């Protein structure tokens, strides 16, 4: 069922069929109709590989996600969903690559072999081999997140530094003097994960600005870890009255630790952070948090990638977003734990 078959059945040459389909040269209306009839009858569709081979582009973009074995956070899922959605609207297909370690076959396949016209890269570290690999390959790409050399590529990112500073200032305004930052896993932080690093900066910066005390801890990305982490925090730092966190996955466990310690939220203890809106709203009680607008960010990444593909020599562009904190039900005036009835 190839173009030759269509040509034969409609009594024209293969090139005429091609022109009838693409409209790149005039074709007599009568001829066009005849060809279309045959196409409809046989339900013909041009072979994508042949077209890609000749045209030198695939109308497909690669989306590099964290390895599937590792559970994605709601924010990450939001990125994926919005990228997929935006790509579909632009009539682009998405090739998914769960990229893990160093020499990942899936990543290699996507980056090399002219499989895609461009790549969107998620979960970027401050020093990221994949960025180097992509730059070497010459393939257009856009990061959701960025490395320590922020001008070496086009990216969109969440401004974790500003967001965390806002969380701290919000808590400070409520009278909290001793705040803990619960970061993401020690491995991520050690690996130079950008959001963790920038959240630290925002945290320490805002503490200094308000002359407050703070402790920072790492916590694996799951509820279990969140619970034991907070239990340890409460025991070691009786003066704490609030937590700020970027560790979405650990939050349910943190809630549980507080409940278990008979600390009412927000009466006795405040907690705030950065999370996907749905997630924050569905918590019990709903979390006061900076709502990450994953939808917008993913769509913008696709947009920027399309621009890069059409003009690979244009200067790199950057987009940093910092949504305001949505007040819900987990932050309130500070009350020393020692004062509790």
**Residue 60 and residue 234 in contact, taking contact as beta carbons nearer than 8 Å:** no
Query: Does 264 interact with a second copy (rule: CB under 8 A)?
Result: no
> Is residue 91 a contact point for DNA (CB under 7 A)?
no
In the 3-class helix/strand/coil scheme, how is the chain assigned residue by residue? Answer: CCHHHHHHHHCCCHHHHHHHHHCCCCCCHHHHHHHHHHHHHHCCCCCHHHHHHHHCCCCEEEEEECCCCCCCCHHHHHHHHHHHHHHHHCCCEEEEEECCCCCCHHHHHHHCCCCCCEEEEECCECCCHHHHHHHHHCCCEEEECCCCCCCCCEEEEECHHHHHHHHHHHHHHCCCCEEEEECCCHHHHHCCEHHHHHHHHHHHHHHHHHCCEEEEECCCCCHHHHHHHHHHHHHHCCCCCEEEECCHHHHHHHHHHHHHCCCCCCCCCEEEEEEEHHHHHHCCCCCEEEEECHHHHHHHHHHHHHHHHHCCCCCCCEEEECCCEECCCCCCCCCCHHHCC
Q: Which two tokens stand for residue 137?
A: 């390959």
20 binds a second copy (CB under 8 A): no
Q: How far is the CB of 183 from DNA (least distance, A)?
A: 45
Query: Which partner in DNA, a second copy, none is near 12 (CB below 5 to 8 A by kind)?
Result: DNA
**Using CB under 8 A, which of the segments 186-194, 195-203, 250-258, 332-340 binds a second copy?**
250-258
Stretch that binds DNA, among 23-31, 232-240, 261-269, 329-337 (CB under 7 A): 23-31
> Binding to a second copy (CB under 8 A): which residues in 92-111?
93-98, 105-106, 108-110
Between 94 and 217, whose beta carbon lies closer to a second copy?
Answer: 94
Q: Identify residues 27-46 at the interface with a second copy (CB under 8 A).
A: 43, 45-46
Q: Which of 13, 15, 22, 112 binds a second copy (CB under 8 A)?
A: 112
Distance, CA of 89 to CA of 194 (rounded, Å): 30
Residue 67 engages a second copy in binding (rule: CB under 8 A): yes
C-beta of 15 vs 213, nearer to DNA: 15
CB-side exposure of 130: number of CA atoms within 13 Å? 34
User: What is the contact mask toward DNA in residues 225 to 254, using x (rule: CB under 7 A)?
Assistant: ------------------------------
Question: Which residue in this structure is represented by tokens 């599937």?
Answer: 68
- Using the rule CB under 7 A, is 13 a contact of DNA? yes
- Contact residue for DNA among 42, 47, 187, 312 (CB under 7 A): 47
In the set 8, 9, 18, 319, which binds DNA (CB under 7 A)?
A: 18
Neighbours of 320 (CB within 10 A): 14
Distance CA(180)–CA(163), nearest Å, equals 15
Quick one: which segment of 45-53, 155-163, 195-203, 204-212 binds DNA (CB under 7 A)?
45-53
Q: How many residues bind DNA (CB under 7 A)?
A: 33
Restricting to residues 221-240, name those near a second copy by CB under 8 A.
Answer: 223
d(CA 145, CA 155): 6
| Minimum distance of DNA from residue 40's CB (angstroms) | 15
Considering only residues 42, 50, 191, 314, which one is a binding residue for DNA as defined by CB under 7 A? 50
102 near DNA (CB under 7 A): no
81 binds a second copy (CB under 8 A): yes
Residues at the contact surface with DNA, assessed by CB under 7 A: 1-4, 11-16, 18-19, 21-22, 24-32, 44-47, 50-51, 53-56
Residues at the contact surface with a second copy, assessed by CB under 8 A: 43, 45-50, 52-53, 58, 60, 63, 65, 67-69, 71-72, 77, 80-82, 84-85, 88, 91, 93-98, 105-106, 108-110, 112-115, 136, 223, 252-253, 255-256, 259, 278, 281-284
């Amino acid at each position: 069922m190839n173009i030759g078959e269509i040509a034969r059945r409609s009594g024209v040459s293969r090139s005429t069929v091609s022109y009838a389909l693409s409209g790149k040269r005039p074709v007599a209306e009568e001829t066009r109709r005849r060809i279309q009839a045959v196409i409809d009858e046989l339900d013909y569709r041009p072979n994508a590989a042949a077209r890609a081979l000749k045209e030198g582009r695939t109308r497909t973009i690669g989306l590099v996600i964290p390895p599937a074995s590792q559970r994605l956070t709601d924010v990450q899922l939001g990125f994926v969903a919005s990228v997929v959605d935006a790509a579909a609207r632009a009539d682009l297909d998405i090739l998914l690559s769960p990229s893990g370690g160093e020499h990942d076959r899936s990543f290699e396949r996507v980056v090399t072999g002219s499989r895609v016209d461009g790549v969107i890269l998620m979960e970027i570290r401050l020093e990221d081999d994949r960025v180097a690999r992509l730059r070497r390959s010459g393939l257009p790409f856009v990061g959701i997140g960025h490395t320590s050399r922020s001008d070496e590529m086009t990216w969109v990112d969440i401004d974790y530094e500003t967001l965390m500073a806002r969380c701290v200032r919000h808590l400070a305004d409520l009278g909290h003097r001793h705040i803990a930052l619960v970061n993401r896993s020690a491995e991520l932080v050690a690996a130079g994960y950008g959001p963790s690093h920038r959240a630290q900066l925002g945290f320490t910066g805002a503490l200094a600005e308000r002359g407050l005390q703070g402790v920072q801890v790492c916590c694996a990305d799951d509820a279990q870890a969140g619970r034991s982490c907070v239990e340890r925090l409460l025991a070691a730092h009786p003066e704490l009255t609030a937590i700020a966190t970027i560790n979405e996955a650990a939050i349910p466990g943190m809630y549980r630790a507080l409940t278990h310690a008979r600390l009412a939220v927000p009466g006795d203890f405040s907690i705030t952070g950065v999370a996907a809106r749905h997630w924050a709203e569905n918590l019990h009680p709903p979390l006061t948090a900076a709502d990450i607008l994953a939808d917008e960010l993913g769509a913008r990444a696709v947009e920027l990638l399309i621009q890069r593909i059409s003009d690979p020599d244009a200067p790199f562009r950057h987009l940093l977003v910092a949504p305001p904190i949505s007040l819900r039900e987990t932050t309130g005036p500070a009350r020393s734990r020692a004062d509790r009835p």
